Amino acid sequence: MKKPPARPSAPSKTPTDTPPGDRIAKVLSRAGIASRREAERMIEEGRVTVNGETIASPALNVTDKDRITVDGKPLEAPEAPRMWMYHKPAGLVTTTKDEQGRETIFDKLPEDLPRVMTVGRLDLNSEGLLLLTNDGGIKRKLELPSTGWLRRYRVRVNGKPTEEMLKPLRDGITVDGQTFQPMQVELDRQQGSNAWLTVGLREGKNREIRRAMSDIGLTVNRLIRISYGPFQLGQMKVGEVVELRGRIVRDQLGLEGAKTTRPEPSRRRKPRPIPDKSRRTRN
């Protein structure tokens, strides 16, 4: 009895089956239009077209040959990756717009700065080092816990902390059902009813230090971020913006071969004056 002829096997998938280019949301983010999540919302709102057609889903790969518009304006080629350090003052919100009408950091950044995004956030009453970038890929990379960069803070608390009180923070503490990773905590000095601590985190969650300190009976009344990975606040003045050298950006972020627009030494921008309440709002 003859054997039936063998059925042809299904063709195996190869890398060529993957559409060329990058996802549209990633391209918009790289161009500095918005974060990936914000770009996806813009797509869902019908604000993005590709080759003349409005798209409704971010599940689309595009290449340099595609014509992309956002709100009717052609998408420009992305700038080279750039980064800045900003000494955020207390009292500013780290968002582009605030529903309560409070001032944001974008109201106070130098007017000649291009459109930038923040790497992470500092809450309203926190101050110190905030990284800015024009590149959504850099923003996302530095915010991932897997990056593992240590963030260090100077923290003033009301109370008299002891080594026994601080031990739960070093071991890892759970507050309101949320677990915080072990912190590096050092008691620097006691000044009357207040004490200064240096705290190091590798994964910063919303108001993590304030909530953790409150859980052990201490109240934070000042919080200053002094470093983010290799980047240091140093002697920067409040409100000052310093652009990082292109070589530093490439070396620290592993952007081998990437060109930058600022190979020259870091540029310092003076802080804008902070008048009482008559401040202009930037979109």
Burial class (CB in 10 A: 0-12, 13-18, 19+), 254: exposed
Angle at which helix 246-253 crosses helix 136-143, to 10 degrees, equals 50
Closest CA to 174 of 123, 220, 208, 219: 208
Per the annotation, the verdict on 123 as an active-site residue is: yes
Q: Are 228 and 149 in contact (CB under 8 A)?
A: yes
Closest CA to 222 of 120, 104, 90, 130: 90
DSSP symbols for 47-85: -EEETTEE---S--EE-TTS-EEETTEEPPPPPPP-EEE
Residues in the chain: 283
Distance CA 116, CA 282 (A): 13
Distance CA 187, CA 170 (A): 12
Distance CA 78, CA 21 (A): 15
Q: Considering the candidates 22, 98, 107, 123, report the single residue annotated as catalytic.
A: 123
Task: Please name the residue that has the structure tokens 């972020």.
Answer: 253
Q: Which two tokens stand for residue 116?
A: 């930038």
Which residues are known to be catalytic? 123
